Structure 1
Amino acid sequence: MKTPAHLTAFSRLPARPERSLPLAKAAWLTQRRHIVIVSETFAPEVNGVAHTLLQLCRGLLAQGYRVSLIRPLQAADKQTPTHAVDQGWCHDQLLVPGMPLPGYHSLHFGIARSSRLRRWLAEQPVDAVYVATQGPLGLAAVRAAKALHIRVCSGFHTNFHNYTHYYRVGFLDAWLRRYCRWFHNQTALTLVPSRQSAVQLDAMGIGPCALWSRGVDCQAFDPGHRDSGLRAEWGVAAETPVLLYVGRLAAEKNLPLALRSYTALKRRYPDARLVLVGDGPLRSELTRNYPDVIFAGVQRGQALARYYASADIFLFPSLTDTFGNVVLEAMASGLTVVAYDMAAAREHLRQAQNGLTLPAGDEQGFVMAVERLCREPQLCQRLRQQARRDALTLGWSQQIRRFAQLLLNSSQEVSRHGDKSRDTLVRTG
């Protein structure tokens, strides 16, 4: 059957550069307030937490804050242990030993005594500590900050307790939930990326929680990066529909649904292609079982932007993500997103206006939504254009200001930066 006419010329909607204060003026406004960020993962590691924290550090520095980082040693540190400082991602850092995280061998638990962190924090004035991960390093940091009477807040970035089903360790679920509740309730405030996460944590007895969402760089991710040469490498014509997935190739990402959608689409449109960007423990198995799928591996920077913009439909089948930065990146790149009505999709997609969403677990509906976009190319084009328009309103600057306001617990942070948001604490009742 003939492939439907797909979008061949996309009306580029330019990104408006985010306005930031000159560094000297921003420093005066914030009086060089000192924020320490603690995480078991950070750039150049590739995952949602590392990406979010990199944007956070850059944004805080641009707005005049002093930023310090506490993290485990990474592979990149063997050659350049100061790379995070050299790249301008933070003012200084404390590196601690690490051990591989089971199932995520590229990531490491940080191993540090709270006494060591306490001595390091005591050497300099610190206004607040943000603990992004709940491993041994995060726990040591919470204890150290509390011992010094420094305000410490936590972030809910990863649904590890929901992963137990996928890794056949369901017996750990109850223990992980209890630990999650205990850990977060040791901190003054838990920042959550979506209202759905707030409801989930409230049901677990965790609080108070506050909404801190995410942004997207619409200059980096832009439909103008669409590359006919890359599509030619994929063996597709200008009108051939290309499905894209970006993320970890792992059990908790619900990849079988993406592959099922692709297989069903191929019956009607045999020249359609699926491109998987990312790596993970399932890659070898998937490569064997799906030889016609394009496995692009990990892509970064401009190369990643080209992959986004050169596809047509973005698949986000996850049921476990707390947010999903890739949804915003796909929207900014001018793709139609098909996702469950959860996390970032619930926050930012409006059904049949800038994407297609399905009730959680409706696999058949997900498959049919992908087919519908190929049957109705005009709908697909309209959704793509509106997704780009909406993404242009989702810059990082406002989210950075909100983070500082919440972390520092200061109404002055709002007036200094003109943030008029009043929805600070998330109320679920």
Structure 2
Amino acid sequence: MSFCYTEADRRRVRDYGVVSPIEVVPNGADTERVTPESPTSELIKHDGLVAIFVGRLVDGKRPQDAITAVRRAQREQPDLKLYLCGAGPLREELEDQAGEETEFLGHVPSDEMPAIYRSADVMVVPGRAEGVPRTVLEAITARVYSVTTALPPYEKIVKEGYGTTVPVENPMEMGRQIAAFLDLSGGIELGAGGSEYS
């Protein structure tokens, strides 16, 4: 027996010629581990607005677009800082691209992630191909607003009040949406207090 997260995944596996039974088991977030009441993270030292990117530093995840988007959002939100949580082969290239508005945390242990979510005002998810990402589910559970690319898995789980989607590989629009949300939210601490839309 095989397992996958979505019906689309099941069809894809069938297309590869798998004939054994395939069960769809949706991805999820542990609502006892990730909560809006989690403590904040000591890794996040910025006193202003905080954006996070959570994922491997690889091209498919588009961390370079997260940096560009936050830089665009800073036009309206100059105290916004981006924390990248993840490791990968693009780190050196990204460090060259990034400025003072970006901090690289490297690989963050999963037991630290609830506190990372709790410390964030917005999560930036610019990937161009995903299944059902646990990071977005965990951000929603922690009541962190997510600005994601308009991929079918994201569109299904990013609900009104928890986020919005933008076209793939359009970091300038992503930045505009980040800035607009932070302006609309009045700078409330979403991770600490929960979204006003939840």
TM-score by length of 2: 0.81
Displacement of 1:353 in angstroms is 3.3
Partner of residue 197, structure 1: 9
Quick check: 1:346 aligned with 2:155? yes
Displacement of 1:316 in angstroms is 1.1
Quick check: 1:294 aligned with 2:103? yes
Aligned pair partner of 1:259 in 43, 47, 67: 67
In structure 2, runs of 5+ residues without a counterpart are none
Distance change >3 Å, CA 225–CA 210, structure 1 → 2: same
Quick check: 1:307 aligned with 2:116? yes
Paired letter, 1:267: R
Question: SS of 2:195's equivalent?
Answer: helix
Q: Contact 1:324 / 1:343 at 8 angstroms: preserved in 2? A: no
Partner of residue 214, structure 1: 27
Distance change >3 Å, CA 353–CA 203, structure 1 → 2: farther
* 1:68-103 deviation per Cα after TM superposition (whole angstroms, max 9, x unaligned): xxxxxxxxxxxxxxxxxxxxxxxxxxxxxxxxxxxx
Question: SS of 1:321's equivalent?
Answer: coil
Larger Rg: 1
Displacement of 1:377 in angstroms is 0.7
Displacement of 1:359 in angstroms is 4.3
CA distance in 1, matches of 2:28, 2:182: 29
In structure 1, runs of 5+ residues without a counterpart are 1-152, 155-190, 388-429
Q: Contact 1:194 / 1:211 at 8 angstroms: preserved in 2? A: yes
Question: SS of 2:131's equivalent?
Answer: coil
Aligned pair partner of 1:243 in 51, 56, 65: 51
Partner of residue 384, structure 1: 195
* 1:127-166 deviation per Cα after TM superposition (whole angstroms, max 9, x unaligned): xxxxxxxxxxxxxxxxxxxxxxxxxx33xxxxxxxxxxxx
Partner of residue 81, structure 2: 273
Q: Contact 2:54 / 2:84 at 8 angstroms: preserved in 1? A: yes
Aligned pair partner of 1:223 in 28, 36, 53: 36
* 1:208-233 deviation per Cα after TM superposition (whole angstroms, max 9, x unaligned): 754321121112112222428554x2
Displacement of 1:196 in angstroms is 4.2
* 1:226-250 deviation per Cα after TM superposition (whole angstroms, max 9, x unaligned): 428554x23x2xxx22110111111
Distance change >3 Å, CA 300–CA 361, structure 1 → 2: same
Moved segments of 4+, more than 4 Å: 202-210, 228-231, 359-364, 378-383
Paired letter, 2:40: D
Paired letter, 2:128: L
Partner of residue 4, structure 1: none
CA distance in 1, matches of 2:179, 2:14: 36
Matches within 5 A, 1:26-425: 153-154=1-2, 191-198=3-10, 201=12, 204=15, 210-227=23-40, 230-231=43-44, 233-234=45-46, 236=47, 240-292=48-100, 293-342=102-151, 344-350=153-159, 352-377=160-185, 384=195
Displacement of 1:319 in angstroms is 1.3
Higher helix share: 1
Paired letter, 1:323: V
TM-score by length of 1: 0.40
CA distance in 2, matches of 1:280, 1:260: 18
Aligned residue pair count: 192
Q: Contact 2:158 / 2:164 at 8 angstroms: preserved in 1? A: yes
